[in-house]
Structures are given as structure tokens and as C-alpha cells.
A and B are shown apart, each in its own frame.
Chain A
Amino acid sequence: DIQMTQSPSTLSASVGDRVTITCRASQSISFWLAWYQQKPGKAPKLLIHTASTLESGVPSRFSGSGSGTEFTLTISSLQPDDFATYYCQHYNGYSWAFGQGTKVEIK
């Protein structure tokens, strides 16, 4: 099975900061990667799919990049609503796997 590893596990940042979260796959997954945001008590929200395609309605301060085994989620200017936990997810049509999550906290 493909394993997904996110770093860091926790990130402390201030409003306005540029934030980058990394996700690494245990083997090449091409561009089959999604990013989700989850707030406490709520279901995850899809932000980005196919590594870099922004989901409709998601603010443009969110961006994704990468292919193969290394991917990044970048928030260009952190807003108060962005403090949450972020997950990467690999999918290939027969198995899916999440990273362990990155919690973005207020510094």
C-alpha cells in the first residue's frame, strides 16, 4: 500500500504569513493527490484535486504543486478562517490513503 507522510504535524503561524505544508508518497503517484481542510466537529472540505487544481469556490490564496512523490500545499497569506487541520489524500481508483494531517495553529 502507498503511504502518505505529511510535514510538519503542527505549524504555528500568524495572520498574513505564507504557509507551506509538504506531503510525500512512498512511491510515485503521478498527480493523483488532493488536499482537504477540516475544522473541529466538521467534515473535511476539498480544497485542491489532481495536485494543483483549485476546487470551485476555494480562495485563490490556496495553491497546490508537485507530482510523483512530493507535493506542497501553500497558503499565500494566512487568514483567520484558515486555522484548521489539513490532510493530503492519494487516490488511484482502487485505493485511497490520507496523510496524518497538519494542524495550523495561531502563533
Chain B
Amino acid sequence: QVQLMQSGAEVKKPGASVKVSCKASGYTFASYGVSWVRQATGQGLEWMGWISAYNGHTNYAQKLQGRVTMTTDTSTNTAYMELRSLMSDDTAVYYCARGTGSHDYWGQGTLVTVSS
């Protein structure tokens, strides 16, 4: 069965970077893209960006351009999202989700807390 397994919770200081992983199983990794979506506590869903697992092509949300990098490792079927220059507003649950259009499978979420 399709699964997306994300790395564990992180606590970071302002100005630091975080890298979250998303290991896919149960399907042909290169056949789908992966989006990253985040959700601050009590808030809505925010799309951060998307990466093609086929060729590594990326599209990032304008507000995160320059601070976010998404990559994939097809040898381990893993997608990564790195966010730099962290601020308190980046405290959120980060999800990876499969799909090149809509997203039919999601990871369990990774809580990233930014606090001094």
C-alpha cells in the first residue's frame, strides 16, 4: 500500500535551517510529484511547493522563494524539504503529499517548532 513516512519532530532556533524527509513506498516514486504543505496551529493549509520525482523540476510558492529547497533521492525514494532562515512564523506541521494535480496520499506530518 502507498505510504509516505516523514521524519520526526524538530525544534530549531530562529535563523537556523530545517530539513524534513518523506520516504515513499508502495508505488513507483518517479511517476508522481510531491508537494509540501504546512499548517500552523489552528490555521489553514498552505502550499509551499512541488517537486517532480521524475526530473527534479520544482515550483515554489512565491512567499518562500529563496528560503526553501525541495529535492528528491530516487535511490531511496525519498523527498526532502529544507527551509532556511527560520522565523517563529514557520512553526507548523509540515506535510508531504503525493500527486501532480490533486494529492491522494499524505505523510503523517512533521512538527517543526521555531523558538529561542
User: Which residues of A are interface residues toward B (Cβ below 8 A)?
Assistant: 1, 32, 34, 36, 38, 43-46, 49-50, 55, 87, 89, 91, 93-101
Give Cα A98–Cα B103 distance, bound, in whole angstroms: 12
How many A-B pairs have beta carbons closer than 8 Å: the answer is: 58
A100:B102 contact, CB within 8 angstroms: no
Give Cα A10–Cα B62 distance, bound, in whole angstroms: 28
Contact of B104 among A55, A87, A93, A100 (CB under 8 A): A55
Q: Across the two chains, which residue of chain A brings its CB closest to B105? A: A46
B62:A1 contact, CB within 8 angstroms: yes
Number of residues from B at the complex interface, CB < 8 A: 21
B45:A101 contact, CB within 8 angstroms: yes
Residues on A with C-beta less than 8 A from B61 are 95
Contact of A93 among B45, B46, B62, B100 (CB under 8 A): B100
Give Cα A1–Cα B97 distance, bound, in whole angstroms: 21
